[in-house]
Amino acid sequence: MIKELLHTARTAVRLTWALAAARRSEAALNADVRKLSQAEWDEYADRIRALCQAREYSVDWTQVWVTHRYRLYLTMSWLHELPLRSNLPLNAVELGGASIVSDLLRQEFPAWEWRNTQGDLRQPLEFADGTLDLVVATEVLEHLSDLPHGFNDSFEASGARALLNECRRVLKPGGILFLTTPNAASLVHLHMALLGKPPWFYQLHVREYTAEQLVDLVQAVGFQVLRCQDVHCLTVDLPFDHHRVLQLLYSFGYPLEGRGDDLFLVARNEAHSGG
């Protein structure tokens, strides 16, 4: 009887610790989003709707962009904090075609000279060597398949490496690469796997990366990674029960950190800069 009571007590203590750890981790996970009040987030959503209306987006497509308001706001916040070395005017490129992200960038940083790219991002960029101060790649890397070299029987991230090499080529010495991409080690991915579903944000993504993989890719082409962090900003509006997954991780000794649904990375091109 005493042994059973002790076992019950120990189990209750472990569950209490797991619950407390889950609550702390969830609070940390949502810390960035909670920097703004609900009224401020509503105002930012209205700003996004106005940009979507100006581009004549459909109602459904507009709503998709509204769900990305946290990512868009935090992207602008990170860009405001970049350790840029150049004086204005600053030459900046956003990878990919124009969208409301392009409009936000030009509103937030009107003194910078912004351009966009066209076509296959695995192919050489249309800019001369060492001419750009900043390359911005938001939610791009996960869409890049391997380069078509013969028969591909495995994924080698050759398309991603090709783009990163091109980013380094076109950036000035000391130029900055800022990129965001889904975090393949996020709570959302774990939650979906536990439900027996593919651990994928979006079925059309070619590959989603962990923080370690992302840093390795960027460093492998010669960038110096200044900052890489998981940021929970893509699925804030979705009804995921993070508590149970966090308790499960804690109970079996797996790390609770690094589980945000997106990755933000800042890297510097140190090529020919003398360190």
Instruction: Provide the residue ranges of all domains of the chain, joining segments of one domain with +.
Output: 2-269
The Cα 164–Cα 152 span in angstroms is 21
* Sheet strands (E) in the chain: 91-94, 113-116, 132-138, 171-182, 223-231, 262-269
Max mean pLDDT range (22-26, 149-153, 209-213): 209-213
Q: What is the mean pLDDT of residues 98-125?
A: 96
Segment 184-238, tens digit of pLDDT: 999 999 999 999 999 988 888 999 999 999 999 999 999 999 999 999 999 998 8
Record the pTM: 0.90
2 versus 81: the higher-pLDDT residue is: 81
Percentage of the residues of the chain whose pLDDT score is greater than 90? 68
pLDDT tens per residue, range 34-80? 889 999 999 999 999 999 999 999 999 999 999 999 999 999 999 99
The architecture (CATH level 2) of 2-269 comes to: 3-Layer(aba) Sandwich (3.40)
